[in-house]
């Protein structure tokens, strides 16, 4: 038996922040992006509008900004070690996030088998963001199904790691879930709960359970 481990990014692999906030910090636009974060958290805007507004804010974004944001971000410790352990056990790990694909895809170099983020044009932007490529909570389940087919597993073989309302649908769709530094949206929904800054601590809650 093998398993597919599905990791959220914002607030889960990233501690207390999101990829858009880290990107905007490189441009001096953290305040504007915080306003977007509050708006989407309150339900005043949805993911497509969030993406469109972020795209407008990032008109001057370069690959150097993205690289700096990725390298300076407050990642949980031992992400690569956890993914190496998952691989050595013959299992699979993937990142599914509402954040921009050009940021999420960098985690392939850390050992993820697959990454999926909201589809943004390449940086620097020369074309608009396509709202149909922007992910939402339900899309995480659809992508999980696609990954199951790709890796030859079923939903029953999945473990989900997340922190907020965007993970509720996925948590409901798989048998094992880990709330990582989670907010109240996941209260009572997760199989396990972890608070801390080391991914190994979250992984070991399910790592030895077959």
Tokens of 5: 């481990």
Angle at the Cα of 115 (from 109 to 118), degrees rounded to 5? 125
For residue 207, pLDDT beyond 90: no
Residue owning tokens 């790990």: 93
For residue 186, give Cα distances in angstroms to 81, 109, 160, 181, 209.
26, 30, 12, 10, 22
For residue 204, pLDDT beyond 70: yes
pLDDT category at 187 given cuts 50, 70, 90 is confident
Could you give the CA distance from residue 117 to residue 11 in angstroms, rounded to a whole number? 15
Could you give the CA distance from residue 164 to residue 186 in angstroms, rounded to a whole number? 6
Mean pLDDT of the chain: 95
Angle at the Cα of 189 (from 183 to 191), degrees rounded to 5? 105
Convert the pLDDT of each residue in 51-67 to its tens digit.
999 999 999 999 999 99
Tokens of 177: 């879930």
Convert the pLDDT of each residue in 124-165 to its tens digit.
999 999 999 999 999 999 999 999 999 999 999 999 999 999
* Structural Rg of the chain based on CA atoms: 16
For residue 209, pLDDT beyond 90: no
The arithmetic mean of pLDDT across residues 17-40, rounded, is 96
Q: Which residues contact 39 (CB under 8 A, 6 or more apart)?
A: 45, 50
Residue owning tokens 């509008």: 49
pLDDT of residue 28: 97
pLDDT category at 170 given cuts 50, 70, 90 is very high
Could you give the CA distance from residue 157 to residue 150 in angstroms, rounded to a whole number? 13
């Amino acid at each position: 038996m093998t398993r597919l481990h599905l990791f959220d990014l914002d607030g889960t692999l990233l501690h207390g922040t999101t990829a858009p906030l880290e990107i905007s910090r490189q441009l001096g636009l953290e305040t504007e992006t915080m306003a977007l974060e509050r708006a989407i958290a309150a339900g005043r805007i949805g993911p497509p509008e969030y993406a469109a507004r972020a795209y407008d804010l990032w008109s001057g974004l370069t690959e150097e900004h993205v690289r700096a944001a990725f390298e300076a971000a407050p990642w949980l410790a031992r992400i690569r070690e956890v993914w190496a352990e998952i691989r050595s056990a013959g299992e699979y790990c993937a990142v599914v996030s509402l954040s921009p694909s050009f940021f999420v895809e960098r985690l392939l170099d850390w050992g993820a088998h697959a990454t999926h983020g909201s589809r943004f044009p390449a940086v620097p932007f020369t074309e608009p963001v396509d709202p149909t490529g922007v992910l939402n909570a339900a899309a995480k389940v659809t992508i999980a199904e696609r990954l199951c087919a790709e890796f030859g597993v079923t939903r029953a073989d999945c473990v989900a790691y997340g922190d907020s309302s965007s993970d509720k649908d996925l948590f409901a769709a798989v048998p094992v879930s880990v709330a990582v530094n989670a907010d109240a949206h996941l209260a009572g929904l997760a199989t396990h709960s972890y608070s801390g800054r080391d991914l190994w601590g979250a992984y070991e809650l399910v790592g030895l359970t077959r």
